[in-house]
C-alpha cells in the first residue's frame, strides 16, 4: 500500500486555500504510567525504547542509581538499563529478571544491563534488527562516559531476547558528539539511521547512517535553531533556544523527527527553561523540514501537572491498529530547577488516531496530488463532520477522466472516517493501474491521508 500523507508537500502537486494543521498527541488520563517505585530506582526514571511485539508491549528504560559492580568490586552510582512489560500499554509490570544485584544485594529486580566501566550510559535505542546485526535479534546503541574509557561516544550491545545483553566493540562506534543520540533500524531502506547532537551546547543536530551499526557515515548537520526559534529572546544574550535531541521513526513513506525544543536562560550553575516536542519530517533521512506552524506535537501539561516543566520522547512510536501510540518523559520542574532540586522524572503515554498527526484543512479548498497508479479502490482518512470531501481523477495532462469528475463522486459527507472508500459513476477497473492525479475538494473538512487498495 503506497499511502499518501500530507505532513509535507512531497506528494502534493498543488493546493489552494488549505491550511496544514498540527494535532498534538492526546494524553492518557492515567499518566504517568511508569514511575520510580522500586528501592533500586533513583528519582530519574527516563525512557529509552518501547516496542509492541505480538500482543505484548516491551519497554527499556533507565534510572541513575546505586548498584553493586557485577564482579563484586564495589557499589557505586551508575546508569541502570531496566525492563518493563505490559499487556495493554497502560499498566506496566517490572518483572524480577534475576540477573543483576541491586543496591540491596538482591537479584529480584528488573535490572537487565549495566556497564561497570561507564559512569554514565545514556539514551538507549533498542532496535529489532535480526538480519543486520550478525544474527542477533536486537541491537542497542547508547552513549557511554567513563574514566577508564579511551574516549566517550555511542557504544553498541547485542541481545537475542532483549534482556540478556553482550558488549559490542570496546570502543565507541560513533566517537564523541553529544550524549542524547537516537537511532532506528529503517526496514524500508535496510539501514541504521541516527540523529546525534554536536555537543553539550545542544544547538546543532547531525544525521548519520550505517549498514551494520558498526561503521557509520560521517555525521552531517541537519538542524540548528533559526530566526523563528530565537525570536522569543528579544535579543537577550542570556536567553537561548537549544535542540537537545531528536528521536526519529519510520512512518509509512516518511521519516518523522520529534525535535526537543528547549527555551531558557543560562543561570551560571545550569540552564533553566521549558521544553516541548515539535514535529520534523524527511523523505530521505538527510534533508529535514520543520512541519507547519511548529506547534508542539507533544505539549507540556498545565502548571499543576506532572509534566508541566519539560516533555521529551524516546525511541517509542508504535503503530497500533487504529492508533499511533507514543511514550514520553515528563517532569514537573524545568531542567535547571531539576538539576538543583532533584525533582523526579516519569514516563507517560499519548496517542493520535491513525495518520492524524498532521492534516490539511479548508473551508473551501483544493488539494491535487502528484501522479499515482490507480490500483483498486481509493480510500481517504478525513474529518468532515460538518462538511464534505469529494475527489476527481485526472490524467497526466490535467484533464478530468470521464466518469470520475467531482460531480460523479460519492465522497465523504457529514462524517468522520479513518477509512472511507470513495466511489464514482465510472468503473475503476477500467483504469487498470493507469497513472492519475487525484483532485480533492474540501468543504469545511480536513484531509489526513489517502491510499489505493485492491480490495474489490
Query: With 80 as the cut, is the pLDDT of residue 411 above it?
Result: yes
Write out pLDDT tens, residues 206-262.
Answer: 999 999 999 999 999 999 999 999 999 998 988 999 999 999 999 999 999 999 999
* 305 Cβ contact partners less than 8 Å away, ≥ 6 residues apart: 330, 332
Separation of alpha carbons 181 and 199, rounded Å: 10
- Of 315, 342, 343, 310, whose CA–CA distance to 329 is shortest? 310
Separation of alpha carbons 263 and 110, rounded Å: 35
Arithmetic mean of pLDDT over the chain? 91
Separation of alpha carbons 224 and 243, rounded Å: 7
Write out pLDDT tens, residues 250-271.
Answer: 999 999 999 999 998 877 766 7
pLDDT band at 200 (very low <50, low <70, confident <90, very high): low
Average confidence (pLDDT) over 65-87: 70
- Domain 4-22+358-453, CATH 2.60.120 — does that match? yes
Query: With 70 as the cut, is the pLDDT of residue 77 above it?
Result: no
Query: What is the pTM for the complete model shown?
Result: 0.94
Q: Given this model, what pLDDT does residue 79 score? A: 84
Separation of alpha carbons 41 and 18, rounded Å: 49
Write out pLDDT tens, residues 354-384.
Answer: 999 999 999 999 999 999 999 899 999 999 9
Specify the CATH architecture of the domain 26-353. 5 Propeller (2.115)
The count of other CB atoms within 10 Å of the CB of residue 131 is: 11
Which grid cell sits at 90? 497502560
Ordered by start, the domain boundaries in the chain are 4-22+358-453, 26-353
Share of the chain above pLDDT 70, in %: 92
Instruction: Please name every residue paired with 258 in a beta bridge, in sequence order, or none if there are none.
Output: 279
Residues 72 and 108 sit within 8 Å (Cβ to Cβ): no
More confident residue, 336 or 95: 95
Q: Given this model, what pLDDT does residue 73 score? A: 42
Share of the chain above pLDDT 90, in %: 73
Q: Given this model, what pLDDT does residue 136 score? A: 86
Query: Cα–Cα distances in Å, from 147 out to 127, 143, 155, 242?
Result: 28, 14, 15, 28
Burial class (CB in 10 A: 0-12, 13-18, 19+), 420: buried
Amino acid at each position: 500500500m503506497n499511502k499518501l500523507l500530507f505532513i509535507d508537500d512531497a506528494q502534493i502537486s498543488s493546493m489552494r486555500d488549505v491550511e496544514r494543521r498540527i494535532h498534538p498527541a492526546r494524553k492518557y488520563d492515567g499518566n504517568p504510567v511508569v514511575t520510580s517505585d522500586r528501592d533500586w530506582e533513583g528519582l530519574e526514571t527516563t525512557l529509552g525504547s518501547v516496542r509492541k511485539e505480538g500482543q505484548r508491549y516491551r519497554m527499556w528504560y533507565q534510572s541513575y542509581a546505586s548498584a553493586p559492580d557485577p564482579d563484586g568490586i564495589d557499589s557505586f552510582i551508575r546508569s541502570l538499563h531496566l525492563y518493563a512489560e505490559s499487556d495493554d500499554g497502560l499498566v506496566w509490570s517490572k518483572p524480577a529478571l534475576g540477573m543483576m544485584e541491586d543496591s540491596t544485594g538482591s537479584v529480584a529486580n528488573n535490572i537487565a544491563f549495566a556497564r561497570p566501566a561507564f559512569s554514565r550510559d545514556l539514551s538507549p535505542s533498542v532496535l529489532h534488527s535480526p538480519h543486520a546485526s550478525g544474527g542477533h535479534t536486537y541491537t542497542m546503541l547508547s552513549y557511554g562516559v567513563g574514566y577508564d574509557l579511551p574516549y566517550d561516544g555511542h557504544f553498541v550491545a547485542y541481545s537475542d531476547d532483549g534482556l540478556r545483553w553482550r558488549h559490542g566493540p570496546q570502543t565507541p562506534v560513533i566517537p564523541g558528539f553529544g550524549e542524547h543520540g537516537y537511532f532506528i533500524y529503517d526496514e524500508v531502506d535496510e539501514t541504521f539511521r541516527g540523529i546525534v547532537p554536536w555537543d553539550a551546547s545542544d544547538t546543532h543536530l547531525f544525521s548519520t547512517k550505517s549498514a551494520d551499526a558498526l561503521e557509520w557515515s560521517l555525521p552531517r548537520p541537519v538542524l540548528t535553531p533559526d530566526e523563528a526559534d530565537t525570536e522569543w529572546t528579544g535579543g537577550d544574550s542570556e536567553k537561548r533556544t537549544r535542540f537537545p535531541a531528536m528521536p526519529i521513526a519510520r512512518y509509512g513513506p516518511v521519516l518523522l523527527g520529534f525535535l526537543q525544543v528547549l527555551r531558557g536562560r543560562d543561570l551560571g550553575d545550569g540552564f533553566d527553561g521549558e521544553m516541548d516536542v515539535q514535529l520534523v519530517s524527511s523523505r530521505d533521512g538527510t534533508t529535514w523540514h520543520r512541519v507547519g506552524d511548529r506547534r508542539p506535537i507533544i505539549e507540556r501539561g498545565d502548571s499543576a501537572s506532572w509534566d508541566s516543566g519539560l516533555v521529551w520522547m524516546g525511541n517509542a512510536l508504535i503503530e497500533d491498529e487504529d492508533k499511533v501510540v507514543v511514550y514520553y518523559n515528563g517532569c514537573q520542574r524545568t531542567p535547571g530547577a531539576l538539576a538543583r532540586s532533584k525533582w523526579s522524572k516519569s514516563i507517560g503515554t499519548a496517542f493520535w488516531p491513525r495518520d492524524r498527526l498532521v492534516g490539511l484543512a479548508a473551508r473551501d479548498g483544493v488539494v491535487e496530488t502528484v501522479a499515482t497508479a490507480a490500483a483498486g479502490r481509493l480510500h481517504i482518512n478525513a474529518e468532515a463532520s460538518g462538511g464534505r470531501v469529494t475527489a476527481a481523477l485526472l490524467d497526466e495532462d490535467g484533464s478530468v477522466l470521464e466518469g470520475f469528475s467531482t460531480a460523479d463522486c460519492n465522497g465523504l459527507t457529514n462524517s468522520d472516517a479513518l477509512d472511507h472508500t470513495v466511489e464514482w459513476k465510472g468503473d475503476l477497473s477500467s483504469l487498470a493501474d493507469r497513472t492519475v492525479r487525484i483532485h480533492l475538494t474540501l468543504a469545511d473538512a480536513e484531509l489526513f491521508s489517502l491510499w489505493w487498495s485492491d480490495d474489490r
